[in-house]
Amino acid sequence: MRSRGARVRAGATGAWQGRFVGPLLAATVFIVGLTATLLTVTALRADQRESAARVMDQRTAVARVAVAGEVGRYRDLLQTVAAGLGTNGRLTAEDYRAATAPLATADLLGATSVAYVVPARTEAVAATQARWRALGATGLRLVPSGNHDEHYFSIFQRSLAGTKPVTPGQDVAPSAEGSAALTESRRTGRPAVSDTYVLLRDRGLPADRQQLSFVFVAPVYATDAGAGRYPEFRGWVAMGLHGQDFLGGVLGTASQGLLDGELYATNGDGRRVRVAAYDAPGGQDLRRVATFPVADRHWTLVTAAAAANLPGALSSTPLIVLAGGLSMTALLAWLVWILATGRSRAKAQVLVATAELRTAETESRRQAGLLGAIMSSLGDGVGVVDENGAFLLHNPAAKTLLGVPHDVDNPGDWQEHYGLFRPDGHTPFPMAEMPLVRALHGEVSNGVEILIRNEHRPEGILVSVDGRPLDANAAGRHGAVAVFHDITELRRYETDLAVFAGVVAHDLKAPLAVIRGHCETASDELGDAPPSPEVTEARRTLGRIADNADRMAALIDTLLAYTTSRDAPLRLGTVQLGPLVADVIEHRIESPRPGGGAPPDFYLGPLPDVWGDAAMLRHVVDNLIGNALKYVAVGRHARIDITAGPGQPGWTRVEIADRGIGIPDEDKPRIFESFHRARTAVGYAGTGLGLAICRRIVERHGGTIGVADNPGGGTRFFFTLPLPAARESADPEADRSALERALAERAAVEESTPASLPPLRPGPAAATTPHTPGAERAGTA
């Protein structure tokens, strides 16, 4: 047995250990918890910085696209006006006012005026003045400025955006920046933009009201050049642009007042000049630089913003985590100290901890109730399944949309149980393509359209479904979530718009037919009139009116075709491509030819049956054959070869080759873009939409379209189409290609949408306008 002294020493040792072990354990717990909290907060801060950078990148990209897109719109409008003025061989003041009238309502931010500018050497100033006075420039006075061999006079002016009108006749030659842009535009035959400078019209303003500005210039070429001659240069269309007004209007709208912006322009000598600035509220801790081309120059947009002002960039989560982590760490350290220092305190602390756990449980239930209330109040349907496809959640909106009161857990039974079909309303929706099934395999899906029709939903509704994999780390288990909303009314509204577009196109063409009829009647009445200059001029005027009416009708047809090629439902079936192409060729041969020339040579090889919409495929073939007939050099006989060959498995490749003027390599990448036309194609009529329509139709069939040089001279267009056997034998659950989805989604548009494209017909000058051999082809028909 131990002595009494030994027991006392042991008790003292135990008391000493109990006194220091508790604080040591509590300090250890506190340090570990504090370290974990700080690491978590640091990670959250890093995520927030990355989020702010992403938001800033997105905002800057939107601002850049807005500025570049607006500048591109100005350039396209100016080029369109220049092309229109080039069609008028005797441009008058009234013609100019009519041609530039749309610019007054085009909402051109910062634009000051648009002017028609012509060159004149010093010895020809008086003759130039007399000529344009005779064409309606009443009171025009041309006064050369400076010692220049050639002067550039503004003949007609139209003020924009309420700016003060400027008297025509001003000589632009003293402005080095403006005259340099005019010279460059005439040299290249393309639109040009000047270096930054203060416009001549603004130099009389006070210094604080002057702005650095630009001049956009587009050359005007005559479209009535004779055979063997290049288009005649006639002048320029020039538009002034205030840099500060432009940037403030565009950036203020695009950034919603959240970004500071500075616009820099690189001049011809390589200097970068600060043109304008836009200041948003708040400080700046994020900065981005974006450069983009503008005509023959490069502009740079510098944006800056405060991360705290960017929506979604920063949040209070790190502070909440820091406060919560410190609180939990202190609580755990305190509990350890209490438990380590005495059983009585431990017992009391257990009671406190029990109470806290109950409070936490109550809070969890409250949070669960809040989550349930939120899910119940959502207008969109939400469905959640576990890794086996068993439903964990369907909110009330989802049950309402589905119309089925109970769920099934086997994905293989979903189609029959809920009545899930492709948008055509007949094809059962494959299980492998269901958004929840794809999400269970880790695949994200957006905007998948599904028709729901069952005994509780006999009328059927069209829903758009987004599927996402469930974050296993956050949810504690694997699974998937889908959000879907009713788009039946949206599709019906889109259908109504398409029908409305067809009705409007029809109603617009009716008065054009009346105008042409009156022109023909008036021309017949003049047939018996004695020959005289007045009668000859009247006949010529009536002919121009009739030609313009025909061009307007063709433009309406083309624009309607451009719309319906995207939105009209596909009437899919087996199409005999050989008879279809033969019918198009026969129609083209029967059409009248300019000058009564010999019919073109056609070679039609064996063509297979394909799977597609016969009306739309006819439109593609007719457009490409029409282009091959139109773009032929003067004096050369047209020849078109139509052949087909194998493509990828289940596809065929159709080629249409011609012996025309060809397409330059620099234009090939943009040949299928809307409204793209090469500069040297001004001698040919067209809207710049034909090949864009062809691309839409081919891509809606799941194929591709392209262009290449013909080894024998000319152009070779090719496109791919699916074969009927491939479509009829495909496994619906295995075929996840873009074609199958595109066909199913487009078929959802109701039957009332215009089912076919308006017929292609050449404009009155399409086949009669001569052109120089070897010139560039227009971008589209």
Q: Give me the pLDDT at residue 721, please.
A: 94
Distance CA 28, CA 26 (A): 5
- The lowest-confidence range among 175-184, 189-198, 423-432, 470-479 is 470-479
Which residues, at least 6 apart from 467, have a Cβ–Cβ distance to it below 8 Å?
434, 435, 436, 438, 439, 443, 444, 445, 448, 480, 481, 482
Q: Please report which confidence band the pLDDT of residue 683 belongs to, taking 50, 70 and 90 as the band edges.
A: low
Q: Please report which confidence band the pLDDT of residue 553 belongs to, taking 50, 70 and 90 as the band edges.
A: confident
Read off the pLDDT of each residue in 559-567 and give the average, rounded to a whole number.
Answer: 61
Which residues, at least 6 apart from 581, have a Cβ–Cβ distance to it below 8 Å?
604, 607, 621, 642
Q: Give me the pLDDT at residue 594, please.
A: 53
Read off the pLDDT of each residue in 477-500 and give the average, rounded to a whole number.
Answer: 79
Distance CA 422, CA 448 (A): 10
- The lowest-confidence range among 252-266, 374-388, 588-602 is 588-602
Q: Please report which confidence band the pLDDT of residue 610 belongs to, taking 50, 70 and 90 as the band edges.
A: very high
Go through 462-491 and write b for each residue having 16 or more CB atoms within 10 A of its CB, e for each that does not: bbbbbbbbbeeeeeeeebbbbbbebbeeeb
Q: Give me the pLDDT at residue 759, please.
A: 43
Q: Please report which confidence band the pLDDT of residue 577 belongs to, taking 50, 70 and 90 as the band edges.
A: very high
Q: Please report which confidence band the pLDDT of residue 744 belongs to, taking 50, 70 and 90 as the band edges.
A: very low
Q: Give me the pLDDT at residue 118, please.
A: 93
Distance CA 348, CA 342 (A): 10
What are 740's two structure tokens? 């199958």
Name the residue with higher pLDDT: 471 or 228. Answer: 471
Name the residue with higher pLDDT: 123 or 338. Answer: 123
- The lowest-confidence range among 59-73, 203-217, 472-486, 496-510 is 496-510
Distance CA 290, CA 280 (A): 18
The DSSP code sequence of 311-360 is TTT--SHHHHHHHHHHHHHHHHHHHHHHHHH-HHHHHHHHHHHHHHHHHH
Q: Which residue is it, tokens 């120059």?
A: 297
- The mean pLDDT of the chain is 78
378, 395 Cβ separation under 8 angstroms: yes
Is pLDDT of 352 > 90?
no
626-659: pLDDT as tens digits: 888 888 877 788 889 999 999 889 999 999 999 8
User: DSSP H helical segments within 568-673, as ranges?
Assistant: 577-590, 614-630
Q: Give me the pLDDT at residue 755, please.
A: 39
Name the residue with higher pLDDT: 264 or 24. Answer: 264
Read off the pLDDT of each residue in 382-400 and give the average, rounded to a whole number.
Answer: 85
Q: Please report which confidence band the pLDDT of residue 606 belongs to, taking 50, 70 and 90 as the band edges.
A: very high
218-247: pLDDT as tens digits: 999 987 655 456 678 889 999 988 888 887
**pLDDT cut 90: percent of the chain above it:** 11
Is pLDDT of 764 > 50?
no
Name the residue with higher pLDDT: 772 or 276. Answer: 276
Is pLDDT of 722 > 90?
yes
Distance CA 720, CA 647 (A): 7
- The lowest-confidence range among 258-262, 509-513, 673-677 is 673-677
- The lowest-confidence range among 464-468, 489-493, 708-712, 721-725 is 489-493
Read off the pLDDT of each residue in 260-274 and give the average, rounded to a whole number.
Answer: 82
What are 94's two structure tokens? 């009234």
Q: Which helix (H) or strand (E) holds 729?
A: helix 724-729
Distance CA 549, CA 519 (A): 10
Q: Give me the pLDDT at residue 772, please.
A: 32
- Please state, in angstroms and as integers, the Cα–Cα distance from residue 317 to each residue in 41, 321, 323, 397, 573, following that order: 9, 6, 10, 30, 57
- Please state, in angstroms and as integers, the Cα–Cα distance from residue 616 to each residue in 497, 564, 572, 734, following that order: 20, 10, 10, 28
Q: Please report which confidence band the pLDDT of residue 115 belongs to, taking 50, 70 and 90 as the band edges.
A: very high
Q: Give me the pLDDT at residue 6, please.
A: 53
Q: Give me the pLDDT at residue 116, please.
A: 92
- Please state, in angstroms and as integers, the Cα–Cα distance from residue 631 to each residue in 115, 638, 681, 775, following that order: 33, 9, 9, 9
Name the residue with higher pLDDT: 266 or 80. Answer: 80
694-706: pLDDT as tens digits: 888 898 888 999 9
Distance CA 244, CA 110 (A): 7
Q: Give me the pLDDT at residue 677, please.
A: 59
Name the residue with higher pLDDT: 296 or 273. Answer: 273
Which residues, at least 6 apart from 71, have a Cβ–Cβ distance to it below 8 Å?
294, 299
What are the φ and ψ backbone dihedral angles of 14, each rounded to 5 degrees? Answer: -65, -40
How far out from the chain centre does Cα 733 lie? Answer: 32
Read off the pLDDT of each residue in 569-587 and give the average, rounded to a whole number.
Answer: 89
How far out from the chain centre does Cα 440 lie? Answer: 32
85, 158 Cβ separation under 8 angstroms: no
- The lowest-confidence range among 242-256, 491-505, 514-528, 708-722 is 491-505
766-776: pLDDT as tens digits: 333 333 333 33
Is pLDDT of 560 > 70?
no
Is pLDDT of 17 > 70?
no
Distance CA 114, CA 611 (A): 51
Name the residue with higher pLDDT: 553 or 32. Answer: 32
Is pLDDT of 778 > 60?
no
What are 410's two structure tokens? 């086997």
Distance CA 6, CA 384 (A): 68
Q: Give me the pLDDT at residue 638, please.
A: 84
- The lowest-confidence range among 10-24, 522-536, 632-646 is 10-24
Q: Give me the pLDDT at residue 138, please.
A: 86
Read off the pLDDT of each residue in 369-374 and give the average, rounded to a whole number.
Answer: 77
Long-range contacts of 646-653 (CB under 8 A, 24+ apart): 647/720, 648/720, 649/726, 650/722, 650/723, 650/725, 650/726, 650/727, 650/730, 651/703, 651/720, 651/721, 651/722, 651/723, 651/726, 652/608, 652/610, 652/720, 652/721, 652/723, 653/718, 653/719, 653/720
Is pLDDT of 117 > 90?
yes
Read off the pLDDT of each residue in 734-760 and give the average, rounded to a whole number.
Answer: 42
The DSSP code sequence of 263-316 is EEEE-TTS-EEEEEEE--SS---EEEEEEEEETTEEEEEEEEE-GGGSTTT--S
Is pLDDT of 717 > 90?
yes
Length of the chain: 781
pTM over 0.75: no
Q: What is the 3-state secondary structure (H, E, C) of 8-77?
A: HHHHHHHHHHHHHHHHHHHHHHHHHHHHHHHHHHHHHHHHHHHHHHHHHHHHHHHHHHHHHHHHHHHHHH
List residues bridging with 653 in a β-sheet.
645, 720
Which residues, at least 6 apart from 553, have a Cβ–Cβ distance to it below 8 Å?
509, 512, 513
- Please state, in angstroms and as integers, the Cα–Cα distance from residue 777 to each residue in 358, 683, 764, following that order: 80, 10, 18
Name the residue with higher pLDDT: 302 or 568. Answer: 302
Helix axes 614-630, 690-700, angle to 10 degrees: 150
Q: Give me the pLDDT at residue 727, please.
A: 55
Is pLDDT of 723 > 90?
yes
187-199: pLDDT as tens digits: 888 898 988 888 8
